[in-house]
Chains A and B, each alone.
Chain A
Amino acid sequence: MTSFFPQWRDNPTAALIATFALAALLIAAPFVVGQLGNAWVRALAFAALYVMLALGLNIVVGFAGLLDLGYIAFYAVGAYMYALLASPHLTDNFAALAALLPNGFHNPIWLVIPLGAALAALFGIILGAPVLKLRGDYLAIVTLGFGEIIRIFLNNLNAPLNLTNGPQGITLIDPVIIAGHSLARPLDLGFVKLPSVYLYYYLFLFLAVLTVIVCINLQNSRLGRAWMAIREDDVAAKAMGINTRNVKLLAFALGASFGGVAGAMFSAFQGFVSPESFSLMESIIVLAMVVLGGLGHIPGVIVGAILLAMFPEVLRHTAVPLQEQLFGKVLIDAEVLRMLLYGLAMVVIMLYRPKGLWPAPEHGRLAEPKAQG
């Protein structure tokens, strides 16, 4: 328990109490916000998904200091993998496959999670292997290009073989089934009836907590220290005997695997995927979560992800009525306002709080501004 609350390392009781309080809060959260409507619980479920994504990106950007602008591609890989493995799309389009699998293609979630992680990690290595020699800003552009290439392929791989169904996307994706119960249907526990979106929230929460635990352990491991050494000074890290290439590749692969799992979950939750969900803007939003929260600081990144994921929902319910009251009509649509505020936030945070809203407290762990020249 103390690993969640390093400030109470000497006081395990306090850490235990805090952990239980936090757990109770997270379990009760959907019932509290659910009073406002199921859309809020949905936003909460997405927040958990974004926590996973942001923590994955944090490994690459925050720990290893490699700016990745195409992170959403790994999310797309995971999402499309689940979509293909658990929907009638492939059997509809390939007669041979349909003959082979008369019951259709439905793979259980326990197979998909490790597979999604592995496939995304593989893509991470494929992308990382050739480009990791590059300096920071070049790397950013190449990863951005990679993200765009994946999207272009998803958009166009409906001919000559219909793999992705092009811009229409893949529909009729199976929901997650756990212990014979489909999460798309409400679960009756006797004393309380949980709607589908609550069940997904708990599943995503579970995975997000798992991600947090993995990230904390990684951070304190030999590998985590190697990443931070590379972030601070590539050359010095090499001189200390770190195999920088392999360690950077591991950062890419591990970061990507979280993205892949989150993508598979997204696809099961939505029941539908299309290339539109994986635009550059999504990559930038996840990056904004990491930067806003505190580059390389796990609690900060979690807070950043939750803030930015819940923000559109809050905006939808405040911006429109507020504008109607002030001006009598809606001048700026909530969606547009959201992008404007995201952009401004990225600029303002970098100018005035370059380490994020909740930066890591330790000294010497994050880069001090370096003089160039």
Chain B
Amino acid sequence: MDTFVQQVINGLVLGSLYSLIALGYTMVYGILNLINFAHGDVLMVGALTAVSMIFVLKAQFPELPGWLLLLAGTVAAIPVCVAVSLIIERVAYRPLRNAPRLAPLITAIGVSIVLQTLAMMIWGRNYISVPQLLPSEPIQFLGATVTVSKLAIIVLSAIIMAGLMLLVNRTKLGRAMRATAENPRVAGLMGVNPNYVIAVTFAIGAALAAVAGVMIAATYSVAHFYMGFMPGLKAFTAAVLGGIGNIPGAMVGGLLLGLIESLGAGYIGQLTGGVLGSHYQDVFAFIVLCAVLILRPSGLLGERVADRA
């Protein structure tokens, strides 16, 4: 029972992170039908920027509290990520908007490699260890241990996602986004500037990725130029699981995937009698992805749409 609660909490933490990242994929996909392969690397850029900012501040003002440092790191990371994402959109995706589907996917892979290599040149090849900034005393909860940072991730993600739902469903900008996702040309006729809406979508996605990146770096105490790849892939899986293009779907999919992964990794040893261990954690996401795509390609909350040839 203790392991169960513990794994559920771990799953929720992981799931919140996946949800935040998955939103970036799903919003872009909803409007452009494009898998933004470089999204995970935007997250990596955010995390590394924040870490650099934290190191600089820590050297200048050693007495600043940890949460303020984290906040400053996040504040620095968001504009950088937004700028990077907007540049990518402008240079690599916008010219290919009417090209065959393969073309933007290949440029996205290229952009991802370029970002990783640039990050490697700036921050080096090695793992950067991030200092513990939030109090690490464990809190006992139903027999499981939770740290402040994990609790903060769950709560903050929930608040951010609620804010995003409000933005999309209640504001004029949100309505423009939904209209563009529905049909960009008609939205254009109704006075929406599609290029502006698309840019805003990329910017929001990048800001969410930046926040998720800082959270990942802070909880796992490590940052690396390759750190965006796995979370990016998993978050994409989460977006597909929930129904790609569907915003609540991405949130549900992310949480579900986090739970599946952490419960799977927690129990696979027992279930298989020790043959397979928790290092197979990464396999679960892919199995889920394959299963969803085969059994219900539109995802849990997605609506069935006709194939576009």
Q: How far is the CA of A15 from the CA of B190 in the complex (A)?
A: 61
Q: Interface digits, B6-36 against A, CB 8 Å rule (1 contact, 0 not)? A: 0000000000000000000000000001110
Q: Report how far A340 CA is from B117 CA in the complex, Å.
A: 6
Evaluate contact between A351 and B101: CB separation under 8 angstroms. Answer: no
- Distance of A343 Cα from B101 Cα, bound (Å): 19
Is B202 among interface residues, defined by CB-CB distance under 8 A? no
User: Could you tell me if A134 and B35 are in contact, using CB atoms closer than 8 angstroms?
Assistant: no
Which single member of B112, B117, B290 contacts A145 (CB below 8 Å)? B290
Q: Once bound together, how far apart are the Cα atoms of A160 and B273, in whole Å?
A: 11
Taking a contact as CB atoms under 8 Å apart, the answer to whether B120 and A136 are in contact is: no
Instruction: Decide yes or no: A137 and B114 within 8 Å by CB, A130-B294, A145-B289, A373-B185 being known contacts.
Output: no
Residues in A with CB closer than 8 Å to B135 are none
List, in ascending order, chain B residues with CB within 8 A of A367's CB.
100
The 8 closest A-B pairs by CB, nearest first: A346-B110, A343-B113, A145-B286, A343-B114, A347-B110, A340-B117, A350-B107, A339-B117
A136 and B101 within 8 A (CB): yes
* Interface residues in A, total, Cβ within 8 A: 55
Encode contact with A along B91-105: 1 for CB under 8 Å, 0 otherwise. 110011111111111
- Rounded to whole angstroms, the CA-CA distance of A145 and B293 in the bound complex is 12
Is the pair A343, B112 in contact by a Cβ cutoff of 8 Å?
A: yes
Interface CB pairs A-B, < 8 A, 30 = A131-B290, A131-B293, A134-B293, A137-B35, A138-B240, A138-B297, A140-B35, A141-B237, A141-B240, A142-B290, A145-B237, A152-B282, A153-B283, A156-B279, A234-B307, A236-B309, A336-B117, A336-B121, A339-B116, A340-B113, A340-B118, A340-B121, A343-B110, A347-B92, A347-B107, A347-B110, A347-B111, A369-B98, A369-B100, A370-B100
Cα distance A142–B92 in the bound complex, in angstroms:
23
Residues A336 and B120 in contact, CB atoms below 8 Å apart: yes
A235 to B308, CA, bound (A): 10
Interface of B toward A, CB cutoff 8 Å: 33-35, 91-92, 95-107, 109-114, 116-118, 120-121, 183-185, 229, 233, 236-237, 240, 274-275, 277, 279-280, 282-283, 285-286, 289-290, 293-294, 297, 307-309
| Closest chain A residue to B274, Cβ basis | A160
A150 CB, min distance to chain B CBs, angstroms: 10
A345 within 8 A of B: yes
Nearest residue in B to A156 (C-beta to C-beta)? B279
Contact A372 B33 (CB under 8 A): yes
- How distant is the Cα of A141 from the Cα of B39 in the complex, in angstroms? 14
The answer for the CA separation of A237 and B54 in the assembled complex, in Å, is 57
How long is the Cα–Cα vector from A346 to B100 in the complex, in angstroms? 15
Please tell me if A305 contacts chain B, counting CB pairs below 8 Å: no
Q: Which of A156, A281, A287, A347 has the most CB of B within 10 A?
A: A347
Bound complex: CA A287 to CA B184 (Å): 32
Q: Is A55 an interface residue when CB atoms closer than 8 A count as contact?
A: no
A144, A145, A287, A350: which contacts B96 (Cβ < 8 A)?
A: A350
